[in-house]
Structure 1
Amino acid sequence: MADVVLSGAIRSNLLSMQNTARMLDESQLRLATGLKVRSAVDSPTAFFTAQGLNNRASDLNNLLDSMGQAVQTLEAADQGIKSILKLVDSMKSVANQALETKVKATVLTGNADTPLTGGVTLASLAGIGTGNQIVVTVGEVTHSVNVGAASGQVATIANLMTWVDATFTGAEPLAATLTADGQLQFTAANGRDVTISGNNSGTPISLDALVGSRTTATDGVNRDKYERDFNNLREQIDQLAGDASYKGVNLLKGNDLLSVFFNTEQTSQLDIQGVSLTPDGALNIAEVGNTSGDHGFALDAAIKAFVENLNAATNVLRQQASTFGANLGVVQIRQDFTKSLINTLESGASSLVVADTNEEGAKMLALQTRQQLGTTALSLANQAEQGVLRLFG
């Protein structure tokens, strides 16, 4: 079949319409997809450059998530420090209350029917014999001595008083004296309860002839309650520090290290070292002795020393809060920078591959007009050739 021969004018018009149709299809596709570069075929340089920028933005987005978790870890530590500061303030309050509470002695006075003197022998008193045991208790401390003239025993009232003064010393002091009316009197300066009893090889005996059947006791005042309250608060600090963790990282108890990376190569980072903000750690808050013979609040000077330690612990907490605050500021600044950098990268990638819808819309309208004009021109060219047919009419 022979090829159809077209005139130059018709061929030129046809080629122009084909180009217009191709450009019109391209504009329609860009408007539909929003992209001017959809694959490497459209523009290898723009496509791969945009892909590289988007990949880096994606990597930075992952780092941004990691930074956000680091911020949460630091905020957990900060909340822990604030709470520990409140507990330390409560401990100061307890210590100051103990300091304001003045210790009042306990006085136990006998009411024996027969007045006593220092020279009276214990074995001569009714119900008490040689070898019997006299037991004296002050608070939680108990000591006993046998009645007799041998070494380490007591034979007279004077011996008993000397033994009491020499035995109950230190944190559990006890003084034994005779009143003006001849009654044996025990005075515990620490304000704890005083009791006296006797036994014969474990069997209780009466000491009525020594102290009477009804002793008179003046209740004392001590600081034991404040010692217990202080130690309970101290334990709460240790527990709170242990609970101030986030996703397994605890910056307040132990040596956990929080590393925050700011680039994908991990060459830019911030290492945040945890500290042990516990009573046995950096806070250095000792436990108050509250056992037999070891009461830490017995003396005013000891309480003042505890208050000084608490003031030092407060300074440690504030300094560490400032350090964590500075670290938090660095992470947040890098967060903001990374967000801006991601936006810059994504904007750069978009400028390479994203179509300008305004421009493409205007082009499509122009191309549609050109297409209509091309159709009209092609029709005119055909009419010129059809004029030849009239010669044969």
Structure 2
Amino acid sequence: MTSVNTNYGALVALQSLNQTGRELSEVQQRINTGLKVSSAKDNGAVFAIAEGQRARVASLGAVMDGIDRATSVIDVGLSAGEAVGDILKQLKEKSVAAQATDLSTDQRAALQADFDALRNQIDQIVNAATFNGSNLVNGTNLTGGSAEFTVLTTDAAGSSSGRFELTGNALVDGNGDPYSIHADLENATGLDFTAADAEVRFSITTGNVTETMTIQLTTGDTINDFLTSVSDQSNGRVTASFDDETGEITFHSQEDFTVEYYEDDTLTDDTGIFGAGAAGTSMTQAVAPGSGTNALTVQGFNFTLGATGQALEEVTSALDISTASGASAAVTAIDDAMTNLNRDLATMGAQAKALEVQKTFLGKLSDSIEAGIGNLVDADLAKESARLQALQVKQQLGAQALSIANQAPSIVLSFFR
């Protein structure tokens, strides 16, 4: 039926043209924003996922900022510790020189004056080693204290990414007696690797990839040697500590890990590796997250003069090198201080390395999440440009079709000629 009241062809052409206009507007929006999902109305589910992951990226950035600040605090502390170490070397030089018996009274007085001046610089250096209000070496951030220094290592809460630990039984000697506080970090009395070809292997699984890190052991290694080897040879991903009160060695990691002991490439337990045939020292494979925290406690120290129980405990104003015997006592005290200072600096260095590893991981994680967000919401601009060209042509054709359809009712006039 032909009618001047209803032009069905024009209605269809108009609907098609409107649809093309909507599609063209959508493509232009994608090209302008670079996103195929720029708002919830584009795809509500995908938009919600993307927004959640964007929030996670922002939180990871905040965590990395915190790690940067913590690393700076440790770096400042390390610089102060190294400066204190340099002063201790000079103090030892003065003390050794004062042991000579042919020195005059004036010469000894000059040495003593130099010695006192150098020693008094230590507290000034230590107290100045502050970054962002935190000082890691003047005793204000001792672990367990009210001002304990902690740093977030991940944005995830608790149990899934806390500090994983494995603690063995107390080390015992050949008689079955615990080493406990008799163990010496710097001597082989507390831990002596007797196996000719022994190693400890740590395994960490990430996704479908398992990485194994081998810690080579050397006969005669001390406890301190072993602790350092664990951190160095695992690139900071696993660290070890020794409790001289309980005689226990504990392995720590931010990642879930397992540990195995090998002798001559044969799987064994640690009874044949730790101690001289000691019994009862086996560490089980029961690896579990520690407290489930997402924060790392940075161990603080006190490098000030005479601080009880700390590195420079014996370096006090009582040291007197005005006599040969006093100089000899000073050398002993300074040697002990240097040993303790170096041990503490090694711990600080391991903490800095652990934070560096964690920041590297978080950076890669953030990049991966951002790539995942892009996969969800980014527009394929090459594809959209092709669609734009096609829709522009389609719009022009639709406009011509509508024009033709609008002219159709005029044929009615020919019926009345």
- Which TM-score tier does this pair reach, normalised by the shorter chain? 0.5 to 0.7
How far residue 379 of structure 1 moved from its aligned partner, in angstroms, is 4.1
* Letter of the 1:280 counterpart: G
2:297 paired with 1:271:
yes
How big is each residue's C-alpha offset from its partner over 1:136-177, in whole Å with a ceiling of 9 and x where there is no partner? xxxxxxxxxxxxxxxxxxxxxxxxxxxxxxxxxxxxxxxxxx
Paired position in structure 2 for 1:6: 7
* Letter of the 1:269 counterpart: A
Counterparts of 2:57 and 2:91 in 1: how far apart (Å)?
A: 51
* Letter of the 2:401 counterpart: A
Paired position in structure 2 for 1:188: none
1:239 to 124, 128, 146: 124
* Letter of the 2:5 counterpart: V
Q: Map 1:28-177; keep pairs closer than 5 Å.
A: 28-100=28-100, 102-103=102-103
1:308 to 325, 332, 336: 332
How far residue 382 of structure 1 moved from its aligned partner, in angstroms, is 5.0
Counterparts of 2:86 and 2:49 in 1: how far apart (Å)?
A: 56
SS across alignment from 2:16: helix
Paired position in structure 2 for 1:333: 357
The more displaced of 319-328 and 34-43 is 34-43
The more displaced of 87-96 and 336-345 is 336-345
1:283 to 306, 312, 322: 312
The more displaced of 29-38 and 251-260 is 29-38
Counterparts of 1:36 and 1:286 in 2: how far apart (Å)?
A: 68
How big is each residue's C-alpha offset from its partner over 1:215-248, in whole Å with a ceiling of 9 and x where there is no partner? xxxxxx6512212221221111122111112222
* Letter of the 2:82 counterpart: K
Q: Is the 8 A contact 1:98 1:223 kept in 2?
A: yes
Q: Is the 8 A contact 2:100 2:324 kept in 1?
A: no
Moved over 6 A (4+): none
How far residue 76 of structure 1 moved from its aligned partner, in angstroms, is 0.5
Q: Map 1:313-392; keep pairs closer than 5 Å.
A: 313-381=337-405, 386-387=410-411, 389-392=413-416
Q: Is the 8 A contact 1:27 1:360 kept in 2?
A: yes
Paired position in structure 2 for 1:262: 153
1:286 and 1:377, CA in 2 relative to 1: closer, same or farther beyond 3 A?
A: closer
How far residue 323 of structure 1 moved from its aligned partner, in angstroms, is 0.8
Q: CA RMSD in A?
A: 2.5
SS across alignment from 2:36: coil
Counterparts of 1:334 and 1:351 in 2: how far apart (Å)?
A: 26
Counterparts of 2:97 and 2:16 in 1: how far apart (Å)?
A: 100
The more displaced of 77-86 and 373-382 is 373-382
Counterparts of 2:45 and 2:103 in 1: how far apart (Å)?
A: 88
Paired position in structure 2 for 1:138: none
Counterparts of 2:388 and 2:416 in 1: how far apart (Å)?
A: 44
Unaligned runs of at least 5 residues, structure 1 = 105-190, 192-220, 291-295
Counterparts of 1:288 and 1:259 in 2: how far apart (Å)?
A: 34
Counterparts of 1:382 and 1:19 in 2: how far apart (Å)?
A: 18
How far residue 385 of structure 1 moved from its aligned partner, in angstroms, is 5.3
2:112 to 227, 233, 245: 227
Counterparts of 1:289 and 1:375 in 2: how far apart (Å)?
A: 101
Unaligned runs of at least 5 residues, structure 2 = 142-147, 159-292
Q: How many residues align?
A: 271
1:3 and 1:54, CA in 2 relative to 1: closer, same or farther beyond 3 A?
A: farther
Counterparts of 1:241 and 1:345 in 2: how far apart (Å)?
A: 42
State the TM-score, normalized to the length of structure 1: 0.63
How far residue 80 of structure 1 moved from its aligned partner, in angstroms, is 0.3
How far residue 277 of structure 1 moved from its aligned partner, in angstroms, is 1.4
How big is each residue's C-alpha offset from its partner over 1:105-128, in whole Å with a ceiling of 9 and x where there is no partner? xxxxxxxxxxxxxxxxxxxxxxxx
Counterparts of 1:46 and 1:20 in 2: how far apart (Å)?
A: 25
Q: Is the 8 A contact 1:241 1:253 kept in 2?
A: yes
